[in-house]
Structure 1
Amino acid sequence: MVKLFQREKNFEAYIANSVEETQIANMLHNTNWRLGEEKSWHLDQANGQLLLTFDDGSFALAPAQIVGTYHHQDSSFLWAWDHPSVIPALQRNATTVKQFGKEQGARELTKNKLKCTEHRAWELTALTMRLNQAKGAYRVQIKPGVSMFLTFGEVQIAHEAKS
């Protein structure tokens, strides 16, 4: 097997650095195009595009990957690479994390479902963003008590055409 990643001496420090990078990236997205202020979102799994719409008629479009889902009732996180509702094309970033986990000996990255806090789910999403060189991370509520974590790529901003 070809090793894709170098061995990390301090796994938790690596995750903490990933979280910091994600926070900075998302703050810049908020400043530049108001990430977190959208009125609605839509993820089209068929084409892998995340669409965020804003009250002023502008919208942001970016390629996206699903990291996993967090179930608040039982505090569990299910990785996208084993999620029955996630198409294989949107599992790639999560699968990269699984490979990293195998190489690091990190069971929480290779176990399909784990008990954790929502904060840990964010940390795992940040790690996913870093390992895949994504541009940002995003969380949405997909139904009561269930959040979906995503990473996204280069963002395109546009405005609705006025007639």
Structure 2
Amino acid sequence: MASFLKKLFGSKEKNAGNEPEVLSEPELTLARANNELQLRTQAAVEMWGIDTASWAVDLDEGTITFTSEEKQRVATAPVQVIGTYNTDDGTWLWGWDHPSVSEPLAAFARRVRDFGEQYGKAELTTRTLSASMEEVWAFTALACHLNGGEGAYSGASGSTRVQMVYGPVTLSPLQD
């Protein structure tokens, strides 16, 4: 992960000898974001089975719903679209300028663009770019962190992965 952080954000501070690497902004924010998302995802797995649940998004309502047969729970939350990743050609398209994403559902992605402008990071301000899945998850984690999201999800739609951040989750029992 450290080499990815250096590639994405560069390194402002030189590491002498065997001293621990010191992260500076914006690297520190991205590292925190990745750690937070890992913890939030683990909690969602344990509480309502995000890893095995079926999912559906209502872009008109701005909600995502996860249905877990295993946990016998339905989780519903407001959703934001951070962007889409084309697994065929490895390209990322940011939600802040995506033709299929309404302006209200792109607010979290716009905050990442603002962060990128603040720190001069082209990866966060370029509409479409080549990226790896690791980078796409880093973008999504950053969106979750900067906007106070509850968690993130990568939904498959054919050869496209839709990267989303969700807000406060409402749990209800699964109805037969």
TM-score normalised according to structure 2 size: 0.82
Question: Once superposed, what is the RMSD of the aligned Cα atoms?
Answer: 1.5
Q: Hey, what does 1:104 align to over in structure 2? A: 119
TM-aligned CA deviation for residue 12 of structure 1: 3.0
2:43 corresponds to 1:47: no
TM-aligned CA deviation for residue 16 of structure 1: 2.1
2:162 corresponds to 1:153: no
CA distance in 2, matches of 1:120, 1:13: 16
CA distance in 2, matches of 1:141, 1:104: 31
Residues 56-105 of structure 1, C-alpha deviations (whole Å, 9 max, x = no match): 55211000100000011211110001110111110000001111111111
CA contact (8 A) 2:62 2:79 kept: yes
Q: Hey, what does 1:65 align to over in structure 2? A: 80
Name the SS for the 1:124 alignment partner. helix
Which structure has the greater CA radius of gyration? 2
Structure 2 residues not aligned, in runs of 5+:
1-22
CA distance in 2, matches of 1:71, 1:52: 23
Residues 4-57 of structure 1, C-alpha deviations (whole Å, 9 max, x = no match): xxxx9343342122111100011011111212110x211101111101112255
Q: Which AA in structure 2 matches 1:150?
A: M
Matches within 5 A, 1:13-24: 13-24=28-39
CA distance in 2, matches of 1:137, 1:107: 23
Q: Which AA in structure 2 matches 1:149?
A: Q
Identical-residue share of aligned pairs (%): 31
2:97 corresponds to 1:82: yes
Question: Which of structure 1's runs of 4+ aligned residues deviate more than 6 A?
Answer: none
CA distance in 2, matches of 1:142, 1:109: 23
Q: Which AA in structure 1 matches 2:56?
A: H
Matches within 5 A, 1:124-143: 124-143=139-158
TM-score normalised according to structure 1 size: 0.88
Q: Which AA in structure 1 matches 2:49?
A: R
TM-aligned CA deviation for residue 147 of structure 1: 0.4
Larger RCO of the pair (alpha carbons < 8 Å, separation 6+): 1
CA contact (8 A) 2:48 2:73 kept: no
CA distance in 1, matches of 2:56, 2:134: 23
